[in-house]
Amino acid sequence: MKKLYVVGNRASKSLSPTIFNYWFKKYNIKASYGYLELTKKNFHKKINEVLKRKDTLGLNVTIPFKNKIIKHLGKIDVHAKKIGAVNCVINKKTINGTNTDWTGYYKTLPNIKKTKNRKVIILGYGGASHAIHYVLKKRGFKDILIFNRSKKKIKYSNKTQYTKTYSDLETHLSGVFLIINTTPINPILKKHLRLITKSTIVSDIVYSPKNTTFLKQFPNNKKIYGISMLIEQAKPCFKIWFGKNPSVEKKMLNTIYKKI
């Protein structure tokens, strides 16, 4: 039986095993999906051991190892290289990595015809934020503002640019089309709420609880829940490992929501 795992420092909290084991049962695939909860100290040793096992077919990699996994891989695709992070590993003849976070996030967005002049605000600039920023740039968004707790150099730009601080948020919230929270906290304060209209779409990549503290502040706004990104980035992983596109139906979603 082939084995797959989600790898992270809080992997036991992940819903990935629920998603993939549901698909295995649905499609009669003889495989199991578990978790590996590792630390920065034991990561390289343990991952090396797991990848050497003949029954290990693949991995999903999450915080904080999406960059650290790269040294264990034979090849990574162009998108993972540009983003600087791998979240999906396939272990067959060679051990290769890819990044499905970027396409996974974009598939959660509503159908957007004109992107050039739409203002997007990204809160936080860690690994998942890099993937989201990458796909928004790739899909034609020109007005992307990134806010972070500390000053960081922004990728995917022809000129040197740095993230803005949260103290600058107030002056940039007018006319924003989409606000994406990629942090485990809520950077939006009460003074910011009066500047955000009901037409703004709000998105949080944290999926548990479904209605995060950040999202609760916007009862009348269109929301993109974190579980959507988790499922959409999982679908191409399944295709990479097993060669078919899995479907998502109400029964599956009910199974997942019971665990949030």
Q: Show which residues are catalytic.
A: 66
Distances (CA, A) of 150 to 4, 38, 81, 116, 164: 35, 26, 24, 28, 8
Question: Which residue shows structure tokens 């485990």?
Answer: 184
- DSSP type of residue 167: G
Q: Where are the beta strands (DSSP E) in the chain?
A: 2-8, 31-37, 56-61, 75-76, 88-91, 95-98, 119-123, 143-147, 176-181, 201-204, 223-224
Q: Is residue 67 within 8 Å of 38, Cβ to Cβ?
A: no
